[in-house]
Structure 1
């Protein structure tokens, strides 16, 4: 009985750790706040590629950006770049900004 409980607990822990990766691979947002922020603020530029913003769905462009790593993406998101103002002109906290970036990446793979 104990061995079965340990195996079940180990499997549950493993699956819980993989859940965010599986959600991203399935195209779902890890954090619903990311999708909400994207739809309320980021979409205006990232849907149409305004002023050179990487369009959501552009696999090649996002692949090049993600190759630089999340730290580089967050640096740009927090500090702004080109026509993009810092924090995308929002008051979102870092975690919500990262969730929005992760959402855009998930829709661009």
Structure 2
């Protein structure tokens, strides 16, 4: 029985690792679901080149920023339209998106 449980654990770890998103995958998510609004500043979205607009957001914890994306805000729909994205994937995408401001 222990061998079976150990094998299941190994398989679970391997599956989780294979589901991890690469930086290219995350950039693709940003390109498809985030940057159309954030590059142009549509509907009040902070523009990617507006450091002052991002400053108060960057004072917040990454988890708070991610929860805003998950829930949606203003004209931004929940998950920024990436309905197939897990919460962890969205968190990684948010982290990549705010990287230029760090």
- Superposition TM-score, scaled by structure 2 size: 0.69
C-alpha displacement at 1:86, in angstroms?
0.3
Residue pair 1:45, 1:51 contacting (<8 A) in 2 also: yes
Name the residue aligned to 2:67: 75
Higher relative contact order (CA 8 A, sep 6+): 1
Gaps of 5+ in 2: 1-21
Q: 2:94 aligns with which of 87, 93, 101?
A: 101
C-alpha displacement at 1:34, in angstroms?
2.1
Name the residue aligned to 1:56: 48
Name the residue aligned to 1:45: 37
**Divergent runs of 4+, >4 A:** none
Gaps of 5+ in 1: 1-29
Q: How many residues align?
A: 80
Residue pair 1:35, 1:99 contacting (<8 A) in 2 also: no
CA RMSD of aligned residues (A): 1.7
For residues 49 and 91 of structure 2, what CA distance do their matches in structure 1 show? Answer: 18
For residues 85 and 34 of structure 1, what CA distance do their matches in structure 2 show? Answer: 19
Q: 2:80 aligns with which of 71, 88, 98?
A: 88
